[in-house]
Amino acid sequence: MLQKHRGELFLLGGAFLFAFNGIVSKLVLTSSLSALRLAQARSTGAFMILFFLVFLRSREKFRVTKKELPQLAFFGIVGIAAVQFGYFIAISRMHVSFALIIEFTAPIWIVLWIKYVKKRFVPKDMWVAISLAFIGLLFIAQVWNGRTLDTVGLIAAFLDAIALSIYFLMGEKLTKTRDIESLTFFGFAFATLAWLIILPVWNFPFEVFHEKINMQGIFSGYDSYGWVLILWIIVFGTIIPYLCVVTGIKTLSASTSSVIGMLEPVLVGIFAWWWLREAWLPLQILGGVLVLIGIYIADRARLQAR
């Protein structure tokens, strides 16, 4: 049973860790570290740890052909660094709920690409699944509650959605010829390079590692050093969930994986409710149920497409 649903379990695990990482990241962002610097720290830390893992376990995985190199660079710079960059620009200019909703239009762009560019069969149920999950996200975010749109933020959010679509599609393509561990390593290697160009490392606020950060919510009586939370973000909020998601993409498909990824905002809401005591309204609970139903239908539709 577990082996049969291996891909789904890895994707669920990735969504769980990414969602929990959202709460931990929110704590870190109360310190002197900006959102872009946190993204840089995630990529750089993940790159360094994965380098040593690959170096110690299987050095031949560092070999790259001339054909692979531009594809790996594209995967890392667009699929990883650009997703983080577009998201952070979007949330700096508009409400986070709008940015999140637009980011998770990625499954729609993926299915449109598969149907009209690749000319491949897309089951009708996949459209139903995407629609239900997307409506569920709208309910969770309550986008009608007096939000305002910003042109730059809107453009950044849509570019973020396109970049996320590329991440899933490139992940599906590259896992056919390269193992998951080395693909993730090279992705973060090129993402780290991109961040170093945008944000010179000598200006990094290293003092954040020694700052005491309040844990807030139900743990407001406790503080943690910045380096502890950042290390958690790198290992459990970046390396492990990215490996899980790439494994899921390899096992299932880009379209199904992206729909399952819609579970992340639902889990973020649950963690925020448990840890930070953020309330959930009945309509938001309904939205979470719709997302789960959409994910279930998407997984069934994947079997029809085979």
Q: What is the pLDDT of residues 82-106, one digit of tens each?
A: 998 998 888 778 777 777 788 889 9
Alpha-carbon distance of 79 to 88, in angstroms, equals 15
**pLDDT confidence of 200, banded at 50, 70, 90?**
very high
**pLDDT confidence of 217, banded at 50, 70, 90?**
very high
**pLDDT confidence of 61, banded at 50, 70, 90?**
confident
Cβ(223)–Cβ(214) under 8 Å? yes
**pLDDT confidence of 160, banded at 50, 70, 90?**
very high
Higher confidence at residue 306 or residue 52? 52
| Nearest by Cα to 294 from 260, 270, 268, 267 | 260
Phi/psi of residue 223, each to 5°?
-120, 160
In the structure encoding, which two tokens stand for residue 217, read together?
Answer: 């919510």
Average pLDDT for 115-143: 89
**pLDDT confidence of 107, banded at 50, 70, 90?**
very high
